[in-house]
Amino acid sequence: MLGVLTKRLLQSALILLGVAAITFVLLYALPADPARMIAGRSATAQTVANIRHELGLDQPLLTQFLHYLRGLLQGDLGRSYAQKTQVVTLIIARLPATLVLMAAGIFVEVAIGLTLGITAALNRGGLTDRLVMASAFVGVSAPQFVVALLLLYLFAATLGWFPMSGYGSFAHVVLPAMTLGILGAGWYARMARSAMIDVLNQDYIRTARAKGLSARRIVLRHALPNAILPIIAMIGIDIGQFMGGVVVVEAVYGWPGIGQLAWQAIQQVDIPIIMGVTLTSIIGNLVADIIAPMIDPRIRSH
Amino acid sequence: MRALKELARQPSALFGLAIILGVLILALAAPLIAPFDPDNQMFDGLTLEGAPMPPGGQFLLGTDTLGRDLFSRLLYGARTSLIIGLVANGVAVTIGLFVGITAGYMRGWVGTLLMRCTDLMMAFPALLLAIVLAAILKPSLWIVAMVIALVNWVQVARIVYTETRGLVERDFIMAERALGAGHGRIVFRHILPHLIPTAIVWGTLGIATTVLLEATLSFLGVGVQPPQPSWGNIIFESQSYFQAAPWLVFFPGALILVTALAFNLVGDALRDILDPTQRGRG
């Protein structure tokens, strides 16, 4: 166990190093000139040169990369071009809102997905099963921003049940979480269905049936705990992909999280912020990757 | 041929195929069908207050905030979606096949290095990476296609890698090698043909992902740039107006959903047909 853990940590460290190298290239090599972006359009050549020197942009690329790495190790993600603030400070300020949204979204997703998936598995081949699988398919194919806008139109603008946008109360979180949850639920429904079918075919379930246990008890006490492991592990693997959806949903609902921060940064080509958010979500993903096998030992062998 | 026959036997796949065919015809025949020039900002395309016209009447699906005919824009938007879908996936599948076969066939340090690279790419959330790349590079139709290809090849590479490793150990490859066949002959005559079904399945499923990704990028303003119509940027342009003119979100949104759904249905059915071991699961 400990050996596997060390190996995974080492792999994660390597991946982070690679990610850092890629983000560094994107940060410094691709865009026109970060110094000019910070200085603004009307700055003199002298000001630009000063900023370049201040950022160490006049040093060799390798020195710059080592400097960037040292900064990362100390939790320094650089300074925003537009807002002139430390990126870490900005991200930490926005993180709680995103975590609330993600937790709510994952809750909705898993609740809907599990219920539908298990119902489908228990009625395998029946009408319910087909309906659930069909709607799961539609959910997987639906564009997030369209669903977000439609929910907004229906439940906020027309019916007035929920606020249009913003942050602060329970009512605010409902529509964003539903948007994330409804769409993700499709994957979980399919996962839960096949996991449940696998478990229901096991010998110990047949034994439980033979003992004369009630169907309810077999499902809840014997099948569910085993079927649920891969699903919990999937939540961890899912977190990184979830982040993309969070950007879209936060942009539509004006949710003040790191997704919105990234979206605003995209429009201003504020690359340090974009990179900071990317790195943060990758770290979140790696942490989840390390935790997932602890929950479901079957993943460990992969 | 056998695959097509089996495909025709599944109602859901047939439904998907019909939609794909429909979208394809709309896209190809856009200049013939479109009642108006998609970029023409018509004077009578707006109400007296300057609001978009609702569906019905002279404009079948209404007009957008600039007085352009929505139906015509959607037709040309179908072209954008399909071009990006085909180009991005063609490139993604090609890169995926190349990396996957090379890594699976060579193994050793080359294979390890290539697969570590795909691990690295997997660590990036796909949508976020696409947004970042599209934001840094100047967005255009071809850049969007390349960005999506750059994100999509990873999954293909991993699956191809696993399958190639399995194939290399099979007896017929061993026999071929014992007979003195060169690497080129083994790869192109014996390994590649076995991977074609996989490439077709993931190419089809990938188009569904691409349609969604392109629409999302365009909606965020880092995809296809207006005035060139794309289903995503039609919604992007009318976003602030959607309470008054919901049809500007509804129609393109429905098209995105239906098209992605169609490619998913066909891709899924193809996977069942071409890979019998997966049948009945999931």
For residue A187, the chain B residue with the least C-alpha distance is: B282
Substitution target in A131, A141, A252, A302 with the highest count of B β-carbons within 10 Å is A141
pLDDT in tens, B105-158: 887 888 888 888 888 887 777 777 787 777 777 778 888 888 889 888 988 898
* Chain A positions in Cβ-Cβ contact with residue B260 (cut-off 8 Å): 141-143
Q: What is the mean pLDDT of residues B191-209?
A: 87
Percent of chain B whose predicted confidence (pLDDT) is above 70:
94
Reported confidence tier of residue B262, pLDDT bands at 50, 70, 90:
very high
Contact criterion met (CB < 8 Å) for A149 and B239: yes
Comparing CB atoms, the residue among A14, A194, A240 nearest residue B125 is A240
d(CA A170, CA A181): 16
pLDDT in tens, B69-119: 888 888 898 988 899 989 999 999 999 999 998 888 887 888 888 888 888
* Chain B positions in Cβ-Cβ contact with residue A266 (cut-off 8 Å): 131-132, 135, 220-222
pLDDT of residue A27: 67
Q: What is the mean pLDDT of residues A178-182?
A: 88
- B235 shares contact with chain A (CB less than 8 Å): yes
Residue A289 has, within 13 A of its CA and on its CB side, a CA count of 22
Q: Is the pTM of this model over 0.95?
A: no
For residue A152, the chain B residue with the least C-alpha distance is: B243
d(CA A196, CA A228): 8
Reply yes or no on whether the pLDDT at A38 is more than 70.
Answer: no
B201, B274 contact by CB (below 8 A): yes
Contact criterion met (CB < 8 Å) for A141 and B260: yes
Reported confidence tier of residue B276, pLDDT bands at 50, 70, 90:
low
Reply yes or no on whether the pLDDT at B279 is more than 50.
Answer: no
Reported confidence tier of residue B263, pLDDT bands at 50, 70, 90:
very high
pLDDT in tens, B174-185: 888 788 777 878
Reported confidence tier of residue A30, pLDDT bands at 50, 70, 90:
low
d(CA B250, CA B230): 14
Max avg pLDDT among A168-182, A208-222, B93-107: B93-107
* Chain A positions in Cβ-Cβ contact with residue B114 (cut-off 8 Å): none
Mind giving me the DSSP string for B203-242? Answer: HHHHHHHHHHHHHHHHHTTSSSPTTS--HHHHHHHHGGGT
- B132 shares contact with chain A (CB less than 8 Å): yes
Q: What is the mean pLDDT of residues B250-267?
A: 90
Looking at per-residue confidence, does B219 or B8 come out higher? B219
d(CA B189, CA B177): 12
Contact criterion met (CB < 8 Å) for B137 and A282: no
- A94 shares contact with chain B (CB less than 8 Å): no
pLDDT of residue A12: 78
* Chain A positions in Cβ-Cβ contact with residue B261 (cut-off 8 Å): 137-138, 141
**Residues 6+ away with beta carbon under 8 Å from B226:** B233, B236, B237
Contact criterion met (CB < 8 Å) for B128 and A286: no
Contact criterion met (CB < 8 Å) for B235 and A286: no
Substitution target in B10, B20, B219 with the highest count of A β-carbons within 10 Å is B219
108-147 of A, contacting B, C-beta below 8 A: 134, 137-138, 140-146
Reply yes or no on whether the pLDDT at A132 is more than 80.
Answer: yes
d(CA A155, CA B229): 29
- A275 shares contact with chain B (CB less than 8 Å): yes
Q: Which of A31-40, A230-239, B168-177, B235-244 has the lowest mean pLDDT?
A: A31-40
pLDDT of residue B278: 52
**Owner of token pair 């017929």:** B172
Reply yes or no on whether the pLDDT at B280 is more than 70.
Answer: no
Q: What is the mean pLDDT of residues B22-32?
A: 86
Q: What is the mean pLDDT of residues B19-45?
A: 81
B169, B175 contact by CB (below 8 A): no
Q: What is the average pLDDT value for chain B, to the nearest integer?
A: 83
Reply yes or no on whether the pLDDT at A302 is more than 70.
Answer: no
pLDDT of residue A297: 65
pLDDT in tens, A135-144: 888 888 888 8
- Nearest CA to CA, how far is A240 from chain B (Å)? 5
| B67 token code pair | 């007085």
* Chain B positions in Cβ-Cβ contact with residue A137 (cut-off 8 Å): 261, 264-265, 268
Comparing CB atoms, the residue among A150, A194, A278 nearest residue B132 is A278
**Owner of token pair 């439940």:** A155
Reported confidence tier of residue B282, pLDDT bands at 50, 70, 90:
very low
A223, A205 contact by CB (below 8 A): yes
| B232 token code pair | 């995503």
Contact criterion met (CB < 8 Å) for A241 and B212: no
pLDDT in tens, A151-170: 888 888 778 787 777 777 77
Q: What is the mean pLDDT of residues A257-280?
A: 82
Comparing CB atoms, the residue among A18, A31, A277 nearest residue B120 is A18
d(CA B52, CA B41): 11
109-128 of B, contacting A, C-beta below 8 A: 116, 119-120, 123-128
224-253 of A, contacting B, C-beta below 8 A: 240-245, 247-248, 251
Amino acid at position A290, single letter: I
* Chain A positions in Cβ-Cβ contact with residue B124 (cut-off 8 Å): 19, 240, 278, 282
**Residues 6+ away with beta carbon under 8 Å from A271:** A26, A27, A31, A34, A81, A265, B136
Is the sign of the CA dihedral B110, B116, B118, B121 positive or negative?
negative
